Amino acid sequence: MTTSSKNYAGALAEIADDNIISYDGIKNDLNTVSEIIKNSPDLKSVLENITISTDIKNSIIDEVFKNQINEKIINFLKILTNKNKFGEFAEIKSDFETIYNDVNNIKLVDVTSAVELTQEQKNRVTEKLQAKLNKQIKANWLLDEGIIGGLIIKIDDNVINSSLKNRLEKLI
C-alpha cells in the first residue's frame, strides 16, 4: 500500500462520511470500474498512459462510465488520470475496502480445511469467530489436503493452526 493510495481511499471515505455517496455506493461503483477495466485491458492501458492527453482520457471516462457509476466517482477517476495515478486504482480500491470493512465492523478471515466443509460446519465456524472477535466475519474457504484434518484460521497476521498435521509435527 502506498501513501497516495491510502490518501485517495481516505478521500473516498470522506465523501461517504459527508453523506454525498454511501459507503456501499462507492464500493459498488469501484467494483463496477474494476470489472470494466478487467474486461478491457486496452482501456486500462489508455487511462494509465502518460503520453495521452488528460482531455482525451477524461472524454473516454465520460463515455465509458456515464450511466454506470455516480458522477462523483467519475470525477474521482478524472482526478486519478489528471494526476497520473490511474495505475494505482486497484490499490486505492483495496485500501477503500479496508476502510469499508472497518466502518462496517467486518473482518476478513481465511479458513483452510483438509476437506470441503458442509454449510452447517461453515456456519458454526463463522458463528464462533463472530462471537470471539465481536465482528461480522467474511470467510474465504480454502482446501489443503496436506493439513490432514482440522482447520487453519488466518486473521490478519495471526494464525490459529489446529490442523492434524501441525499436531503431529509438534509430537515429533
**Looking at the DSSP assignment, which residues form a beta bridge with residue 108?**
138
Domain spans, the chain: 3-102, 105-171
Residue 43 is which amino acid?
A: L
pLDDT at 172: 72
Least confident range of 36-40, 102-106, 146-150 = 146-150
| Averaged confidence pLDDT in the chain | 93
Categorize the per-residue pLDDT at 13 as very low, low, confident or very high, splitting at 50, 70 and 90. very high
pLDDT at 136: 96
Cα(93)–Cα(32) distance, rounded to whole angstroms? 11
pLDDT digits (tens, 9 = 90+) for 70-123: 999 999 999 999 999 999 999 999 999 999 999 999 999 999 999 999 999 999
Q: C-alpha grid cell for residue 161?
A: 493452526
**Looking at the DSSP assignment, which residues form a beta bridge with residue 112?**
142, 152
The topology (CATH level 3) of 3-102 is Peroxidase; domain 1 (1.10.520)
User: Under a CB-based contact definition with an 8 Å cutoff, are residues 171 and 155 in contact?
Assistant: no
Q: Which residues of 43-67 are buried (b: 16+ CB within 10 A; e: fewer)?
A: ebebbbeeeeeeeebbebbeebbee
Which phi and psi (to 5°) does residue 59 adopt? -65, -40
Q: Is the pLDDT of residue 25 over 80?
A: yes
pTM of the predicted protein model: 0.82
**Looking at the DSSP assignment, which residues form a beta bridge with residue 151?**
113
